[in-house]
Structures are given as C-alpha cells and as structure tokens.
Structure 1
Amino acid sequence: MTSDAVTSALHRPGRRSALAIPLMAFVLWSGCIGAAAQAAEPGKDASAGGLPRILVLATGGTIAGQADARATGAYKSGQITGEQLMQSVPGLDKLAKLNAEQISSIGSQDMNDKVWFALARRIQDAFDKNEADGVVITHGTDTLEETAFFLDNVVRGDKPVVIVGSMRPATAVSADGPGNLYEAVQVAADPRSRGRGVLAVLNDKIQGARSVTKTNTTSVETFGSPNDGPVGYVDTAGGIRFMTQAASFRRATYPLPAGEQLPRVEIVYSHANMDAVPIEDAIKRGAKGIVLAGVGDGNTSKPALDALEAAARKGIMVVRSTRVRSGFVTRNVEVDDDKNGFVVSEDLNPQKARVLAQLLIASGVTVPAELQKAFTATW
C-alpha cells in the first residue's frame, strides 16, 4: 500500500481521523517490511500456483478498538472492521490473497458459545470446501487463549489457524495491532505452520493453543507459555523460526454439540478459610462439571474437598486445576483422586480445563480413565 493509498483510506466517510497517526506511522514501517515480504516464501496455493489464500475472520477486540474520551488511554473494543484492519497494514497483499469476514464486533470479555460455534463452523467449512489455505482470527486478548484452545479441540485438519490480537487499540500512537496482524498472516501463509494446531501470534512470538496464556494486564509482552515456551518466533527481518517439528504434535478433536451452547461448567477459586458454599451453589445451579482453581498442586480446604467428592458421587465431573501460573497438577499426590473420582488438569489452567470439560461432557465421555487421558498432554 502506497502513502497515497493510506492517505486516501484515512479520509473515507465513517473513518475517524484518530486513525491517522498509527496508520501513517505504518507507512514508514512498511519500508522496513517490504524487503521481508519479498524475501519470504509463503506456502503456495496448490490449485492456482500463486499466493496462499488466507481467510481473515474478525471478532472485534482491542485490535479493532477506537479511542474513547472518558479517560486517557480509554477505548471501545470492536469498532473497526476486519476489512479496515487489513487496509491499515502495508504489505499484506504480498503475503497472501486475503478475504475478510466479520463474525462479531465484541470485546473478548463478552466472547460466548455462539461466536465460538460460528468461528468453528466457518473455519471447517472453508477447509472442507478448499476455500482457504489458512485462517487468521482477530480477537480481543482477554479470552484469546480460551478461543484458541476451543478451536484447537474442534477444528479438523492440518491447515494453519492463527489467532491474533493487540494490547493497544488501533487509534493508539504506538498501536501493536498492525504489526501483530502482519506477522499472523505471515505465519498462516507459511507451509511450515501446517499440522501444528491453532497458533497465537503476538509480539513476535508464536505460541501453541494449549500453553499460551495472558500474563500481564497491560504490557504488550503479555502472552507467554509458562510450561513450554514459544513454539517459534517471527520478525520482519529474520522471517519465521519454528523451534519444534510439526510432526511431534498430536491432538484429538471433538464434534460440536447440537445447538449453540456448551454444558455448564463452573470454575471455583480456592483461597484461605474456604468453605463449601461456592461448590454447593454450583451444584444447585445445575453445573455438569466443576473446575477447581486450587492452591498449589490443585489442593483446597477439607470442607471444599468434601463438597467436591459429593459432587463427583452425583456424576458431576470434577477437575482439579491450580491458580498458580505454571506447573503441572499431578494425580494422587496431596489428594486421593482415584478414591474421590477426580480428574487432574495436568498443565491446563482453569479456564482451559473448563473448555475441555465442556467438550468432554457434550461428547458423552464419562469413564474416569478416558477423562484423564483426554486431559493428559499428547506431545
């Protein structure tokens, strides 16, 4: 995109002038990425022999946010379309043939089953009908890891699915969204990304869906994989560097349940002086599963453990996870999981353990050994 094209885009009806600063800044940035775009060798569309076809599915989030006058740094999520986001990033057309579709326009704190199902169905349909060689999803950062993990467990096939967001809105002077989006398309277009499941690309790092998590409230360096580290790195000068072979990655996939809603699974957060009330309340409200965000190795108080054991006896799935950011929850160390009928989350944090529990319940998996096998890392 030339500087004239960007200037023209800035003055289209309905576009706020606040976009001018970040977009014009990226005219300069495009000079840096131009050489990299020409040097890159993204995966070719086997049917046409040209650039790969990348479907961009926009859901909203900070990456599509605009400034709000209520406070310094305030913004409203999901105000800019996926098409506008693509137009704000010079050089994307050199990486791939792009097509953008708007799935939703929400902040990711409002992410829900309906949007998840829409994303999963659209991605699967695009792959099954050979409409795209890869997919990029623009998304808010608050629940990005949950969406990535959900899609990783339901989308079949080995074509790349890359989820991307930003910590600063599109109208910020130092917006990180354009750079992140460029790199996300770069990764989705690379044939080496096939067979790796859903990937998250932000701040020059490529993270796996199972491990990635948000670690800081505001920093652009927020996403990390505490137990595994990034699966790769991407930058405009050096290109893409994967740290592992795709062949070492294995995953199971689950069918989408009928309707637009997953079973109710509650997360209960453990703390000092905890009683059984949150667990009893979850049972009364019809929870089909309970995930314990436990202390340490997924532990909690005796009253809470007793209540969880009672829940398991009623056929409610109980998963022990941990509120600690890193480490594995291990069976039968501090808690007698075999006796109590519990499942341990291994390396999955509570929010991802909840997603997997929902899918397993919806799939009718009830045998304890099979449940535990599903939670066990497969690499």
Structure 2
Amino acid sequence: MQGMDASALSHVVLLGTGGTIAGAGGGATTGAGSAAYQAAVVTIDELARQVPGLRQLARLRAEQLFQIDSADFTDERLLQLARKVAALCRQDDVDAVVITHGTDTLEETAYFLHLTVHSSKPIVLTGSMRPGTAVSADGPANLLHAVAVAAQPSSAGRGVLVVMDEQVHSARDVAKTHSQRVEAFASPHGPLGLVVEGMPRWYRALERPHTVASAFDIEDIEALPLVGVVTSHGNMRREIYDQWASLGARAIVHAGFGGGTVPAYLKAPLAELRARGVLLVRASRTGGPLARGGCVDDEALGWVVTDDQNPQRARLLAALALTQERDPERIQQVFWRY
C-alpha cells in the first residue's frame, strides 16, 4: 500500500462493540491475560490508533455502538447492530464494515448478520482472545487483518466473514472451540481463505444462500420470537423444557447427544409440548450433520432437525424462520437451505 493515493483506498467503517479486544488488565506482565482483565474498556478509536499501518490499508471512520462484554449481547442488541450495519452498507461512501466483538458470542452475531443484512459489501467481524495489555495480545494483528480483508474488492459477495488468527472464516460455519488459545476459532469445512502477507487469499466459496440472497431482511424484523436451548446430559428433567414453554418460547432447540438423540423418558413430554404449539428443533451438542427421522419419527411428531448448525446457530435460524413460518415442514426446508 505504500505510495498509494489515499483517495484510491476503500472507505471502511470500524464499528466497536466491546469485548476482550477492547479489554485491559493490570499491565504487560499479565502474561497471556486470559483471566485478569476487564473487557470493553478501550474505545474503537483508541484501538485503531494502537495498530501501526492500519490507516495505510483503508480510509477509516470509527464508531462506538456498544461497549459491552459479548456475553451481554441480547436479541435486542443484536437487532440494533444488524440495523446499524445495514444502514452503513446502504451509504454510498461506505465500502465495507469491520466490527470488533467479544469472542464468546461473536459466531452468533456473525451468523445473524450473515442472514439478515442485504448487502454484498464486505462485513467482517474480529476480536481477540487476549486483551491489549497481555504480552502476547492478538487483537492488533486481528484488527489489521480484518481491515485488510474488508478493504479488498475480492471480499465482496462472500457473506459475512470472521477474521481471526490469519484465517478468514464464513459466518455460517465458524465456532469458538477453545476457551483461551488464540487459534480458538475453527470451521468444520475449513476457512474460506487465509491472510497471506497482509492480503486475503481465497480457497473455497460458500454454497448456502446469505446476505442479498437470504429470505430474511433486518428491515422487516421488528423483534425475534423467544427460542430456548436445552443441552443434553445424563439424568435430564422435563421441567426445563416446560419452563421455557411457560416463558413463552415459540421453539426449543434440543442439543442432543451425537445425532441429536432424545432420551426415551423425554419423548412423551416433548411430544406434549409440540402438541401445545411449541416447535421442537433437534440439534447436536457434538456437531456434524443430522438425519431427519434418525432417532425419532420427526415427520410424524412435527419436529425439525438441523443440518449441521450448532445449537446456538439453530436458535437464531429457528427464530428467523418463525418470523415468517409456523408450519414445521416449511421450517425444516429453511434448515436444509441455510
């Protein structure tokens, strides 16, 4: 980029939401800094100033939308963020958006934007596993690479992207798989590409519809219906499912063993909930694609199975589907499609 006319650079908006990348600890001796720090205390302006060479990659404008730990993301905040990103993408003077985000719910936010923001402009999320005060802080490099990816025209039309640890992941696939390591984010089908010498290098494309091809548009969504998630373990209780229903949950994601297995002692109670109008979605707590009718007669019961969406993505997809559909067969087709 050295010597390039600044007017030729892409205009990228940095949107800060907090998280570990905006965190700080007691000092540089914190080591990896995985525990002794406070999230969401450094502004996006300060973050940008701390990364050498960042402004050589793009014309930047920084905005602070939230300053929170990503564990505090609610559906209301998710909707607010999606509306903000969609509004930015509609602006002629904005070429791309980079969002700094805490890693705990980064994959959920990325997936929601991937399905609801109708724009082919690059939308890139990044974060860090360690605060900026850690000796081995990963945030500066992740932010630099996220802007480098967002600023490239080749990143357009690929859906929402997550850039972490020099890898470019699709928001459809990526998940946080470790509590501390900087290479915590991985995709079961592999990343879309890598960041090589400061530039994205692409190796695969996503087949499933997203962004401009998605049936869901944030402009049409006022609120998300309540959807609960219950994770399987030995000695489960039906009362957990009943409580979600009593709170008004329109659907419950059953994060089952292996292929979404439902214990025999829960089959009748869950069938009762379905008869009361609560949608049941079978997912897997271990990952991997599920088969319809694999352990129960999903068609006869009116249950839905995920494809390979993990429980947290299944919650969001079920909520989005319920904004348009009530019929479980049609909702099943949504899960096969996305």
Q: TM-score, normalised by structure 1?
A: 0.82
Matches within 5 A, 1:132-143: 132-143=94-105
After TM superposition, list the pairs within 5 Å mapping 1:270-281 onto structure 2. 270-281=232-243
Partner of 1:217: 179
- Deviation at residue 233 of structure 1 after TM alignment: 0.5
Segments of 5+ residues of structure 1 without an aligned counterpart are 1-36
Quote the residue 2:14 is aligned against.
56
- Note if 1:250 corresponds to 2:209: yes
**Aligned counterparts of 2:208 and 2:195: Cα–Cα separation in 1:** 20
Query: Counterpart of 1:292 in 2: which secondary structure?
Result: strand
Secondary structure at the residue paired with 2:8? coil
- How big is the shift at 1:249? 5.1
Give aligned pairs, total.
329
Residues 54 and 147, structure 2, Cα contact 8 Å, conserved in 1: yes
Moved more, 314-323 or 215-224: 314-323
CA distance in 1, matches of 2:250, 2:277: 8
Report what 1:360 is aligned to. Answer: 321
CA displacement at 1:303 relative to structure 2: 2.4
What is the match of residue 46 of structure 2? Answer: 84
What residue in structure 1 maps to residue 69 of structure 2?
A: 107
Task: Specify the alignment match of 1:232 in structure 2.
Answer: 193
1:258–1:346 distance in 2 versus 1, CA, 3 Å: closer
- 3-state SS of paired residue (2:267): helix
- 1:129 to partner: Cα distance: 2.5
| Secondary structure at 2:293 match in 1 | coil
Query: 1:204 maps to what in 2?
Result: 166
Paired residue secondary structure (2:266) = helix
Corresponding residue of 2:311: 350
State whether residues 155 and 253 of structure 1, in contact with CA within 8 Å, keep that contact through their aligned partners in structure 2: no
Task: Report the 3-state secondary structure (helix = DSSP H, G, I; strand = E; otherwise coil) of the residue aligned with 2:63.
Answer: strand
1:143-167 CA-to-partner distances (Å, cap 9, x unmatched) read: 0000001111110021110000000
Q: What one-letter code is carried by the residue in structure 1 that aligns with 2:304?
A: V
CA distance in 1, matches of 2:191, 2:65: 28
Q: Which runs of 4+ in 1 moved over 4 A?
A: none
CA deviation after TM superposition for structure 1 residue 377, in Å: 4.5
235, 249, 264: which one aligns with 1:287: 249
Name the SS for the 2:317 alignment partner: helix
The 8 Å contact of residues 20 and 69 in structure 2, kept in 1 or not, is answered as yes
Residue 116 of structure 1: CA displacement?
A: 1.4
Confirm or deny: 8 A CA contact 1:183 1:235 kept in the other structure.
no
Cross-structure match for 1:27? none
TM-score (norm 2): 0.92
Give the distance between the partners of 2:274 and 2:256, measured in 1 at CA.
16
Q: Among residues 288, 298, 301, which one is paired with 1:340 in the alignment?
A: 301
Could you tell me how far 1:89 is from its partner in structure 2?
Answer: 0.7
Counterpart CA distance in 1 for 2:279 and 2:92 is 38
Deviations 1:293-350 (A, max 9, x none): 10010012122222222222222121100110x3111101222110111111111000
Aligned-residue Cα RMSD (Å) equals 2.1
- The 5 A counterparts of 1:1-379 are 37-38=1-2, 50-68=8-26, 73=33, 74-226=36-188, 228-236=189-197, 239-245=199-205, 248=207, 250-251=209-210, 252-256=214-218, 259=222, 261-324=223-286, 326-361=287-322, 363-378=323-338
Helix, strand or coil at the partner of 1:376: helix
Matched with 1:5 is none
> Does the aligned pair in 1 maintain the 2:167–2:194 contact within 8 Å?
yes
Structure whose alpha-carbon radius of gyration is higher: 1
Q: 1:49: Cα distance to partner? A: 6.1
In 1, distance between residues paired with 2:91 and 2:144? Answer: 26
Identity rate of aligned residues, in percent?
42
* Distance of 2:221 and 2:289 partners within structure 1: 33
Matches of 1:335 and 1:102, distance apart in 2: 47
Letter in 1 for 2:89: F
Gaps of 5+ in 2: none
Task: Tell me the amino acid that sits aligned with residue 309 of structure 2.
Answer: L
The DSSP-based 3-state class of the residue aligned with 1:320 is: strand
Task: Encode CA deviations 1:158-217: one digit per residue, 9 max, x unaligned.
Answer: 111000000000111111000000000011111111111111000010111111000001
Paired with 2:324 and 2:141, the residues of 1 have a C-alpha distance of 42
